[in-house]
Amino acid sequence: MPAGEDTILQGSLFGPLIRFTIPLMLSLLLQALYGAVDLAVVGFFGDTTSVSAVSNGGQVMQSVTEIIIGLSMGVTVLIGRYTGARCENKAAETVGGTIKLFLIAALCLTAAMEIFAGKIAGLMSVPQESLAKAVSYIRICSSGFVFITAFNVISSLFRGLGDSKSPLLFIAVACGANIAGDLLLCGVFRLDYAGAAIATVFSQALSVAFSIRKMRRGALPFRVGSEQMKNSSGAPLKILKIGGPVALQDFLVSVSFLVIIGIVNTLGLVASASIGISEKMFVFIALVPISFMYALSAFVAQNVGAKQEKRAVDAMKAAMKVAFGFGVVMAVLTYFFGGMLARIFVRDPAVIAATADYLRGTSPEQLIVPFVYCYLGYFNGIGKTHFVLAESLISSFGFMIPLCYLFSRLPNTNLYIIGCSVPIYSAACMLMCVGYFAYIRRKRLLT
């Protein structure tokens, strides 16, 4: 690289970090829009039962997808380390192992979702009026899980290489196809929730085809051939070692949200639709902190591979400052204008009011998650994914779920009261992250 050029590994820190994060942010925005369009289109052309079905079914699919996203963090970190250390052959072997590991994972998850879709929806206490629709939505989306897996893994590979623009291009293709498909199948052919699910599968397949074509045209800085595939036997275990705890952590967080949705579902159809809409909005609301988490995972991994620990820590601190400023804006928006946000997805006044109540209860969380997500990105980047798993288990199952259940059983409870459990959960996450960061920094200085 040119000596005076600002990059992930050298020169000014803030510029490369922001340039790497912005395409990631746009990717997450499009991915959130991708899911939100399903809900908005179904809400416009369908009824409340369809909104409940898509919101519950979509949350189930997101929970299972989190397994793949978490595992693929191992790909990002390993590729990032090998890129920082200039070990191109090791990076190529990692790609070979990735193909083997994730093909098996995709096939297993597809079979599990097709078989157990009904039981999962039943465990979530999906309202009886929308139960059959939710099960059908899950099964249609699950039929394309191979494409969902390929999309997320390929994006993780490019992020590890320091390329956040290609994943943005991939999700843009998928998002555009999904919007067109939703409008055609739901608006013209009136296929309701099933049309939204079919559009999701088709758009993911199209995006994967586009990304594979780009890779074949030389988008990778190394060659992945039969020799690299043959020598990749150790790569899946390395990916699992790093990505496994992240996958379990992401999955358990999603399961905890499914449990909360199940608790809220017992309050009726309006509450069910409202909690689903609120969860769909979360990625929009926490867009900047989540983007920095993914960016730091790759940014820190490359700098640790290049033995530049201080630069990695400075990157985390810079990200925290930007993310907190965004969090202040989101806290105000969710506290005072939750109803306005809800109107994007639904027309039912009761659902709008209930969604606004829940967002108002959760609004203090937006002042805490900027720090939590930046810490988690740093921990992922240095390979401390076992702590990330432990933190998630303790905070989700020790704080959020018990508090949500307790608040849901209070006399005259509502979604505002239940939503107040979320900032308490985030505060617990924050305390654990601060304590662990102080511990590992002291340990590294002593050693």
What is the C-alpha separation between 290 and 176, in angstroms, rounded? 22
Of 184, 179, 182, the residue nearest 193 (C-alpha): 182
- The tokens describing 193, both together, are 């929730």
What is the C-alpha separation between 317 and 332, in angstroms, rounded? 23
What is the C-alpha separation between 23 and 399, in angstroms, rounded? 34
- The tokens describing 320, both together, are 């925290």
Q: Where are the domains of the chain?
A: 14-446
What is the C-alpha separation between 194 and 51, in angstroms, rounded? 12
DSSP assignment string, 205-228: HHHHHHHHHHIIIIISSS---HHH
Contact 41, 186 (CB under 8 A): yes
CB atoms within 10 A of CB 260: 25
CB-based contacts of 331-337 (< 8 A; 24+ apart in sequence): 331/363, 331/364, 331/366, 331/367, 332/363, 333/285, 334/285, 334/359, 334/360, 334/362, 334/363, 334/366, 335/359, 335/360, 335/363
Residue-level pLDDT, tens digit, the chain, 447 residues? 455 577 888 888 889 999 999 998 998 888 777 777 888 899 889 888 998 899 889 888 988 898 898 899 899 999 988 988 888 888 888 998 999 999 999 999 999 999 999 999 988 888 899 999 999 999 999 999 999 999 999 999 998 888 999 999 999 999 999 999 999 999 999 999 999 999 999 999 999 999 999 888 877 777 777 777 777 778 999 999 988 988 887 787 777 877 888 888 888 888 888 887 887 788 789 999 999 998 998 899 989 888 898 999 999 999 999 999 999 999 999 999 999 998 987 788 999 999 999 999 999 999 999 999 999 999 999 989 889 889 988 988 899 899 999 999 999 899 999 999 999 989 999 999 999 999 998 876 554
Contact 130, 50 (CB under 8 A): yes
What is the C-alpha separation between 66 and 152, in angstroms, rounded? 10
- Quote the pTM value: 0.77
The 8-class DSSP code of residue 414 comes to: -
Contact 92, 224 (CB under 8 A): yes
- Map residue 189 onto helix, strand or coil: coil
The 8-class DSSP code of residue 399 comes to: I
